Chains A and B, each alone.
Chain A
Amino acid sequence: MKKSGSESLKSINLRPFVESLIAILVGFVIGAIVLLAFGYNPWSAYYWLFQGALGSTYGIASTLKYATPIMLTALTFAIGTRTGIFNIGAESSFYFGAIAAVIFTNIWDNMWFGLAMGMLLGALWALPAAVLKVYRGVHEVISTIMLNWIGWFFVLWLIVGPYANPNDPNKTIRIPVDARLPIIGYGLSIAIVIAVIAAVLTYFLLWHTTMGFGMRASGINQKAARYAGMNPKMAVMWSFLIGGLLSGLGGAMKIMGEGPGYAISQGGANIYGFGFDGIGVALVGRNHPLGIILAAIFFGMLRAGTALMQAQAHVPLEIIKVIQGIIVITVAIPSLYDLVKKAIHRGAA
């Protein structure tokens, strides 16, 4: 009975990784077909996309910058899925994290206070969905979507109303200098470091603590978990609260990790959509925190490259969302790996 190094290496399951790569490939191929159908040149679009994302230090920095918020919203969705729920509420917890940063750093200009309040408001906004799920059996997809809309209008009111900048009608008031996140370089703040730490902590929580074991056990089989003496209701509660906290952190860092003039824009355009993108990141990262780090960087790459793609190849940046949607649908094909393997074998024979 000896176990060689190569054997233990084989036990690492590469299947999810390969499946995500196939999905990404399918996304790009179908994206190219869409581009052709509308009369664009896909080669030129993709060339400038990757040139923009990886072609310079600035490009790489902005790739990581775009990866930061969606890494956190993806963790929200992943924690939900691991506990057996589809938490779509990252989107609105993100808004509350962002507005909390604006409100509370202007009360006390301390970075940690701003981050903490962002996390707190993000978690609080996730609470109604958790309570409705546990005590009323309301499906979380419906409740979190409704809360997203309610939260959107509420935060929009704060943006245009009480927290509008009296000197600049296009923005909210700014984050005080002392409360801003330190910048590493090329516009990239330490937010990326905090996000990666959050992902690692989430991994540790889910796979190396009793609480995380209980959460995952409830996600796999509620009845069995209850029989084993765990409390699936509390697992669901924690899953929503920790999820909301992470997205709230993401929202706060989005606003606090920028240069002096930065604030939430009047229509809320710079805080919209990160929760939805996070769902895609989580699915491509297979709901695993370490997979999510990679997937977030990949999605960040797509986002960072769009500016150059739009300028040089004149392709609307929304094509990236089309590609993302196709990738997610492809990820949903359960036997993708087997289908491709079979096709390769047939081709080789």
Chain B
Amino acid sequence: MDVGSVLSILITSLMAMVPIVLTSVGAAWSERAGVVSIGYEGVLLMSAFFGAIFAELASNAVVGLVGGIFVGVLLGMLHGVLTVYLKGDHVIPGIGINLLAMGVVPFGILAYWGTAGQHQLPHDAQMWHWKTPYGELSPMVLVTILIALVTWWVLFKTPLGLRVRSVGENPEAADALGINVEKYRFWSTVYGHALAGLGGAFMSVDWLGLVHKTMSGGRGFIALANMVFSGWNPLVSLIGGWLFGFFDALAAWLAPKHIIPGQFILMLPYIMTLIIVAGIIGKARPPKWDGRPYKRE
């Protein structure tokens, strides 16, 4: 393998890192506050689709990214109302959001653009990239690293972060101290889904420049695995996210070489996720009240 290939894999891995890290960081924040969601797969898919529509309407990729955040916020509010205020199960609404996305996106692509399964975005709706001899790099890579840093800092170094973590670790004590447990949990859920929404829109208007009905490709779940791997720490999830991005990029680089059947290469990121998660669990401990509804006595 020559230097050029290595650099090209590294650049692709930075792009592939973005949706996974954004989702992991958001999910870590939300779970630190005690709300579990497995609906990020659907959030990524739906925000990729609606983000693309927003970007095309405005002929501007940034509008598309903001649109993705907006979709994330709406879905986060839905999940927050069901889990935080109505005290429902945390897993089932996520399953519902994932199933909904599997319907909305293929239906939407067909109904809105009139093509089945896939739509290519026009050039003016796509994000501007730095061009290097080994591939294109999006400014969103830097934004993602910055979001991970800031989220980590707020979560662990500020009073706001302390309150968020307290409602996930010990809501009774937090409640006794006058912290509005439901408010913190609700907005943490919204923040988590908003970041996933940004990650989804990144895939369509920035990284790939297209919408495909299965484009999320398990990344919502890989992000959850990465969140566990990183011990619910946004900063560490940068490392894990890059690692998964690397296997994604490696698979994309290996696929056209026909060394072994392509299907086996495409399995790579999923196999690595499984191995890493299997190796790491046991040490990792979720926040104590993660996924448990808190009802005031």
Chain A contact residues, CB within 8 Å of chain B = 34, 38, 40, 86, 88, 128, 132, 136-139, 141-143, 145-150, 153-154, 156-157, 160-161, 273, 276, 279-280, 283, 316, 318-326, 328-335
Q: Determine if A329 and B78 form an interchain contact, defined as CB atoms under 8 angstroms apart.
A: yes
Instruction: Give per-residue flags for B250-287: 1 if the beta carbon is below 8 A from chain A beta carbons, else 0.
Output: 00000000000101101100110110011001100000
Q: Determine if A146 and B273 form an interchain contact, defined as CB atoms under 8 angstroms apart.
A: yes
- Which B residues, 84 to 121, have Cβ-Cβ distances below 8 Å to chain A? 86-89, 91-93, 95-104, 106-107, 110-112
Q: Which one, A145, A326, A329, A331, contacts B221 given CB within 8 A?
A: A145
Given contacts A146-B218, A316-B110, A329-B93, contact A156 B263 (CB under 8 A): yes
Given contacts A146-B221, A321-B103, A322-B104, contact A139 B274 (CB under 8 A): no
B249 beta carbon closer than 8 Å to chain A = no
**Cβ of B57 to closest chain A Cβ, rounded Å:** 15
Residues of A within 8 A of B270 (CB): 146, 149-150
Residues of B within 8 A of A34 (CB): 107
Residues of A within 8 A of B112 (CB): 38
Q: Which of A86, A145, A324 has the most CB of B within 10 A?
A: A145
Chain B contact residues, CB within 8 Å of chain A = 38, 41, 78, 82, 86-89, 91-93, 95-104, 106-107, 110-112, 217-218, 221-222, 224-225, 228, 261, 263-264, 266-267, 270-271, 273-274, 277-278, 281-282
- Kindly list the 9 A-B residue pairs having the minimum CB-CB distance in the complex, ordered from nearest: A321-B103, A325-B100, A329-B96, A318-B107, A322-B103, A328-B96, A157-B263, A334-B88, A153-B263
Q: Determine if A320 and B103 form an interchain contact, defined as CB atoms under 8 angstroms apart.
A: yes
Q: Determine if B89 and A149 form an interchain contact, defined as CB atoms under 8 angstroms apart.
A: no
CA distance A62 to B97 in the complex (A): 28
Q: Which of A132, A280, A320, A325 has the most CB of B within 10 A?
A: A325
Q: Determine if A161 and B261 form an interchain contact, defined as CB atoms under 8 angstroms apart.
A: yes
Q: Determine if B95 and A324 form an interchain contact, defined as CB atoms under 8 angstroms apart.
A: no
CA distance A319 to B102 in the complex (A): 10
CA distance A333 to B267 in the complex (A): 36
Given contacts A149-B267, A324-B99, contact A141 B274 (CB under 8 A): no
Q: Determine if B103 and A137 form an interchain contact, defined as CB atoms under 8 angstroms apart.
A: no
CA distance A86 to B106 in the complex (A): 26
Q: Determine if A325 and B102 form an interchain contact, defined as CB atoms under 8 angstroms apart.
A: yes
Q: Which one, B91, B97, B228, B271, contacts A142 given CB within 8 A?
A: B228
Q: Could you list 22 A-B pairs, sorted by A, with CB under 8 Å?
A: A86-B95, A136-B281, A137-B282, A139-B224, A139-B228, A139-B281, A143-B277, A146-B273, A149-B218, A150-B270, A154-B263, A156-B263, A161-B261, A276-B98, A276-B102, A325-B96, A328-B92, A328-B96, A328-B99, A329-B82, A332-B88, A333-B82
CA distance A143 to B225 in the complex (A): 9
Please count the residue pairs between chain A and chain B whose beta carbons lie under 8 angstroms apart in the complex.
145
Q: Determine if B99 and A147 form an interchain contact, defined as CB atoms under 8 angstroms apart.
A: no
CA distance A332 to B79 in the complex (A): 10
Residues of A within 8 A of B111 (CB): 38, 40, 316
**Cβ of A338 to closest chain B Cβ, rounded Å:** 10
Nearest residue (CB) in A for B39 is: A329
CA distance A265 to B28 in the complex (A): 40
CA distance A141 to B220 in the complex (A): 11
CA distance A165 to B103 in the complex (A): 32
Q: Determine if B97 and A136 form an interchain contact, defined as CB atoms under 8 angstroms apart.
A: no
**Cβ of A29 to closest chain B Cβ, rounded Å:** 15
Residues of A within 8 A of B261 (CB): 157, 161
Q: Which one, B92, B98, B110, contacts A318 given CB within 8 A?
A: B110
Residues of A within 8 A of B273 (CB): 142, 146
Nearest residue (CB) in B for A319 is: B107
Q: Determine if B277 and A332 form an interchain contact, defined as CB atoms under 8 angstroms apart.
A: no
CA distance A149 to B98 in the complex (A): 15
Q: Which one, A146, A283, A333, contacts B86 given CB within 8 A?
A: A333
Q: Determine if A141 and B89 form an interchain contact, defined as CB atoms under 8 angstroms apart.
A: no
Q: Determine if B89 and A332 form an interchain contact, defined as CB atoms under 8 angstroms apart.
A: yes
Residues of A within 8 A of B228 (CB): 139, 142
Q: Determine if B107 and A326 form an interchain contact, defined as CB atoms under 8 angstroms apart.
A: no
**Cβ of A153 to closest chain B Cβ, rounded Å:** 4
Q: Determine if B281 and A279 form an interchain contact, defined as CB atoms under 8 angstroms apart.
A: no
